[in-house]
Structure 1
Amino acid sequence: MPNAVARRGRQLWVAPHIWRRRLVFWGGGLCIGVVAVLFAWGADAASHLFQQIVQRWPLAPLLLTPAGLALSAWLTSRFFPMAGGSGIPQAVAARATKVQELRDRLVALPIAAGKMGLTLLALGVGASIGREGPTVQVGAAIMNSIGRRLGDRMPGLLVAGAAAGVAAAFNTPLAGLVFAIEEMGRAFQVRSAHLILSAVLLAGIASLAMQGDYTYFGTTRDVLHGWQDWSLVLVCGLLGGALGGLFSRLIVAFAYGLPGQVGRWFKRYPVLFAAGCGLLVALLGLASGGASYGTGYEQAKAMLDGRGDVSPLFMLTKFGATLLSCITGVPGGFFSPSLAIGAGMGSSIAGLLDSHALGAAALLGMAGYFAGVVQAPITAFVIVLEMTGNHAMAAPVMMASLIGFSVSRMTGAPAVYHALAHRYLPKATEAEKREAAAQ
């Protein structure tokens, strides 16, 4: 028996198909890391360009944002219909479907290229979106393309690509792995776990090689002292779950179409609808002094650092701008904006409770609100801690995340990524019939 085990072990190391599979995961992970970093640099450049325009011409967004979102909506519907929105629902749907034809449409390289270009366009005109969701779809597309060309169709490829996208986008390899299990987990196979982990690590290594070692939001050291500070955990969890659930319900409602004449009008004139939303985004930007534009990274970092130079109205304007940007259907996610909204909520709660733990409150708000939106409490907890390096806040952040998730579920809010993924799955019906008939 020991000899048989040893022979099997040697076969696993020398078998060509095993090495081909490893090279698919390893090469894909490295490619995703490089593309994610280039995408991040492009997103930063687009946001910086828009900020320069606003500084020189403060009223420019009243024209630029509606026109840019209308153009993005038209290009998406005309040339890249599978690139709209976050990108995570497409990756989830691609993982769930058994029809290869549909999977290749959802995570195709041309779609990924369009996704990145149109996300940069939206950021360049002031939309309140993030690049992290699109990076997940891009990662899944890269893995799917490499696997197809090398003749390897393992379901774990898409999981690894999505997880590597999260890891490279935030420099959070642990969060990428947790995301693979919690969000993409129904296809997570134990036998391919080591390959998925290796892809996530290689994507992180590629990101580190290009950007150096860093923590996404820097390192925070705020902790909770006394019952007044600890009450932030409960309040941030409750309010974050309620607001996150509301955001989730609104996103899903608009994605599936509002009832009545208004909903039919929105569906019939998507470009005009995007332009109208863009005008409202611009007005919110003017009302907030420009704080509601873009990803919200700078404002979230300021609140995590305990700086009080962010307006108490930031949370409301950012919530509105993110919702309006997302319901247009243009490519772009709500990962980073959700973290910024949560940070604003936590800081506002700290002010109301007269707490001086401003950075800790922002951290708790991020976890509670994000868990309420995506209903993935473990991912929310891990990614918030990994992006700030504040491990002393592990227990409070975990509690806020769990409370936010529970409140969102109790209010009947859907798990937003999986609810949006179902929009793509009915399209597989005819393809499934053709595939079954061919067999």
Structure 2
Amino acid sequence: MIRLTALGAVTGLLAGAVVLAFRWLIEASQRAFLPGGQLGNYEALPGWAILGLPVAGGLVLGLFFERLPEHLRSVGIVHAIQQLRHTGRPNLPLGNALVQFFAGAFAIVCGHSVDREGPGVHLGAATGSWVGGRSDDADSFTLTVCGAAAAIAAAFNTPLAGIVFVIEVLGVRYRVDRFIPVMTASVIGAIIAQLAYGATPTFELASNLQMVSNEEILLLAGLGLVTGSVAVAFIALTEASWRLGGHLRPSLAFTLAGLATGLTGLAVPQVLGISYDTLNNILNNHLGLAALLALIAGKLLATGISVGLRVPGGLIGPSLVIGGALGGVLGVMVQSLAIPTSSEAFYAVVGMLAMMSAVLRAPLAALMALLELTANPNVIFPGMVAVVSADVLSRQLLGRESIFEHVRRLAEVRPGERVSGDDGGHAAESSSRQGERDD
């Protein structure tokens, strides 16, 4: 136990450092060429660059992938899930991690509507897999999980959410003796992030976020239902794009993803890149109703197509942006009601985490992130109302699994074959078997 906890600490340190190096590469590259040296300032580019940058980047990235051996093209959270749930011993090769590191950064810098957190989970898990290379199967599994948890903790400065994330999203079975190392890694990952960027939250949040009247419960439930519906559309678009991408060469698939992003960016330039600068504008009430609606449609299209066509980036960040914009729309609309209502930022924050929950099938991770990002327990109850509504609609009523489970199943099917129905039972069974090996 002491040895495994010590290795978990080492994994947290290394995974946090790798994730921060990945973030530094992206930010340094953006500062080098974006107008004013401002992160995410794609909207200041001329129209030809807004269209041409993601297209050219997609073509270059696709040609690079075509020259890679097939086994090195497997990257992202889905790659980590496949290894953790469906193999006796997780094996995330450093070669795939290197591809993820540089290709993921290149895609984001070129404006593709993907995030750094998805690649970060792969990088963290690969770090843990490397640390546990000489350990037995159970310890190697635990250290791989340590790396993934540390990656989420370092990305958002949310150690609790990192721990719950690996349970809900990666399907890891909870056991106290195995999760002490995971907790250690997650805490150290967050410490590494704080040493590099300070203890301030990832997003610019007001300190007085809270529900001010009971009438808002219905509004929050409605926000959850709308968010759940949008999450279902997002998953469906990603799945359809993934099916198409299975028939295309990487150069064509990535170029089409860049074209979709560039054309969308001509109308809504804020969709390019991770869009966290735009999310901060939403949280500070700087976007009007029309801009919010355009951002929702544009971000959903650009991200769903890009992720579906296998661009090596993640979708956690775009989900937060879409959810924040949905909450922002409600926040703008309720200001005209005759009842006391909370601020636009309050609804935006709740929308962010409701969308995250509905897309990732991770309600507890979303609530933990909500608590840690706001440092405000007053948001938990309203957050639960929206998260439960979104989760019930997107999963129970409409039968939608996690977006990663959809993509994982599609990734295991050759073009032309049909995907079987909901295999959630199989996934749970595989996770349970892995948990039994951990015993």
On whether the aligned pair clears a TM of 0.5, the verdict is yes
Contact map agreement 1:243 1:372 (CA 8 A) in 2: no
Paired position in structure 1 for 2:323: 342
Aligned length in residues: 398
Q: Which runs of 5+ in 1 are unaligned?
A: 1-17, 428-439
Specify the alignment match of 1:273 in structure 2: 253
Give 1:148-187 correspondences, 5 Å limit.
Answer: 148-149=133-134, 154=139, 155-187=141-173
Determine if the alignment matches structure 1 residue 125 to structure 2 residue 110: yes
Which runs of structure 2 are paired with 1:275-290 in the superposition (5 Å)? Answer: 275-288=255-268, 290=269
Could you report, residue by residue, the CA deviation over 1:163-186 in whole angstroms, capped at 9, with x for unpaired residues?
111111111101001112222344
1:37 to 20, 29, 37: 20
SS at match of 1:59: helix
User: What is aligned with 1:3?
Assistant: none
1:128 maps to a residue whose letter is S
| Of 175, 188, 192, the match for 1:189 | 175
Work out which of the residue numbers 380, 386, 389 in structure 2 matches 1:394. Answer: 380
SS at match of 1:412: coil
Supply the AA of the counterpart residue of 2:23.
A
Paired letter, 1:328: L
1:323 aligns with 2:304: yes
How big is the shift at 1:318?
1.4
Deviations 1:13-38 (A, max 9, x none): xxxxx554333211111101111112
Matched, 1:140 2:125: yes
Once the two structures are superposed, the pairs formed by residues 8-407 of structure 1 within 5 Å of their partners are 18-49=1-32, 51-52=34-35, 55=44, 57-79=46-68, 81=70, 87-100=76-89, 103-104=90-91, 107-149=92-134, 154=139, 155-220=141-206, 221-226=208-213, 229-255=216-242, 257-258=243-244, 267-288=247-268, 290-308=269-287, 311-312=291-292, 313-354=294-335, 357-407=343-393
Q: 8 Å contact 2:283–2:349 — kept in the other structure?
A: yes
Offset of residue 191 of structure 1: 2.0
Question: What value does the CA root-mean-square deviation take over the aligned residues?
Answer: 2.5
Answer whether contact 2:330 2:344 (CA < 8 A) is retained: no
Tell me the TM-score normalised to structure 1 length.
0.83
**Distance in 2 of aligned mates of 1:227 and 1:282:** 43
CA distance 1:113–1:48, change in 2 (3 Å): same
The separation in 1 between residues aligned to 2:280 and 2:316, in whole angstroms, is 15
> Residue 80 of structure 1: CA displacement?
6.6
Give, in whole Å, the separation in 1 of the partners of 2:72 and 2:390.
Answer: 29
State whether residues 249 and 413 of structure 1, in contact with CA within 8 Å, keep that contact through their aligned partners in structure 2. no
Q: Describe the shift of the 1:370–1:151 C-alpha distance in structure 2 as closer, same or farther (beyond 3 A).
A: closer
1:380 and 1:123 map into 2 onto residues whose CA distance is 24
Preserved CA contact (<8 Å) 2:74 2:96: no
Quote the offset at 1:110 in angstroms.
1.6
Please say if residues 282 and 328 of structure 2, whose CA atoms lie closer than 8 Å, have aligned partners that are also in contact: yes
- TM-score w.r.t. the length of structure 2 is 0.83
Return 122-131 or 243-252, whichever deviates more.
Answer: 243-252
Gap runs ≥5 in structure 2:
36-41, 337-341, 415-439
Amino acid at match of 1:137: H
Q: Give the secondary structure class of the aligned counterpart of 1:159.
A: helix
* CA shift in 2, pair 1:73/1:390, >3 Å: farther
The one-letter code sitting in structure 2 at the alignment partner of 1:163 is: A
1:346 maps to a residue whose letter is G
